[in-house]
Amino acid sequence: MVEYTLIRSKRKTLGIYIMPDLRVEVRAPLGCPVSYIEDFINKKEGWIRRKLSEAQARKSIRRESPLAAGVLPYRGEDRLVIFTDTNKVTFDGSKFHAPEFLANRGMADNRIRQAIIDNYKRITLPMLLPRVEHYGRILNVRPSAVRVSGAVKRWGSCSGKGSLNFSWMLAAVHPDALDYVVVHELCHLRFHNHSDSFWKLVESVLPNFREMKQMLREAEKRLEYILKGLP
């Protein structure tokens, strides 16, 4: 059987995650029997080993450049980069397209980092708006505006006037992690602090929000090569 780390939370479904350090994490509901979990893993063993092999193959070249590795993160998964006769980085819903001349350049080149970031900015807002509307109805709140910023130090913010700002980096993270940031900022429309009441409100909407916060920390590590480039 595949070795894995089991993390239990208030989530309702089983999930398998391949971590950046090639660990396998299985996230399960609190009361889910171990026998059921192991049966689930056995059925998914082929998929797990294939994903581990793909991740290992990319790991050795990713530090050179995500473009050289041929992948960029999107919604928590690596998506293929196709080099074509284009003048900017774009995403077609399943894969990225990048100019051919970028293929062998490292992330130390600021032009490459900026081209990637600009693309993420374009695709983040359409991804965010339906989630803001969905959770806004649940919380009975409505922001005055929703914007995507170039922020790299924080995932989101809420202004005193009720405007929500979200980082372009959210296009790269798992949908559950994105939902956590959306709910976090919407809850600030009710509580402009991080009081016990604030966290209780977050938990009432997302019982497994702590797990989602951990997913964000993991995503930060994956995005580091874009933000900082190479030493």
What SS3 class is residue 91? strand
For the chain, the average pLDDT equals 84
Q: What local confidence, expressed as pLDDT, does residue 97 receive?
A: 81
231 — pLDDT class (breaks 50, 70, 90): very low
Q: Point out the least confidently predicted range of 3-7, 178-182, 225-229.
A: 225-229
Distance between CA atoms of 47 and 11, rounded to whole angstroms?
Answer: 22
Query: Which residues, other chains included, contact 190 with Cβ-Cβ below 8 Å and sequence gap of 6+?
Result: 139, 141, 198, 201
Measure the CA–CA gap between 162 and 58, rounded to whole angstroms. 42
61-65, 151-155, 217-221: which range is least confident on average? Answer: 61-65
CA 54, distance to chain mean position in Å, is 19
Architecture of domain 123-228: 2-Layer Sandwich (3.30)
Residue with tokens 């050289």: 68
Kindly indicate the confidence band of residue 89, based on its pLDDT and cuts at 50, 70 and 90.
Answer: confident
Give the range among 8-22, 97-111, 154-168 with minimum mean pLDDT: 97-111
Q: How confident is the model at residue 115 (pLDDT cuts 50, 70, 90)?
A: confident
Strands 145-149 and 163-167, sheet pairing: parallel
Q: What is the mean pLDDT of residues 119-138?
A: 94
- pLDDT category at 12 given cuts 50, 70, 90 is confident
CA 19 – CA 215 distance, rounded (Å): 10
Lowest mean pLDDT among 28-37, 50-59, 166-175: 50-59
pLDDT at 136: 97
Pairing of the two strands 24-29 and 145-149 = unpaired
Please state the rounded mean pLDDT for residues 8-19: 86
* CA–CA separation, 19 and 45 (whole Å): 16
Higher-pLDDT residue of 131 and 55 is 131
Hey, where are the domains in the chain? 1-61, 123-228
199-217 pLDDT, tens digit per residue, is 999 999 999 999 898 888 8
pLDDT greater than 80 at residue 173: yes
Going by pLDDT thresholds of 50, 70 and 90, the confidence category of residue 58 is low
Would you list the DSSP string of 107-143? Answer: TTSHHHHHHHHHHHHHHHHHHHHHHHHHHHHHHT---
- What strands, in cross-sheet order, belong to the sheet with 156-158? 145-149, 163-167, 156-158
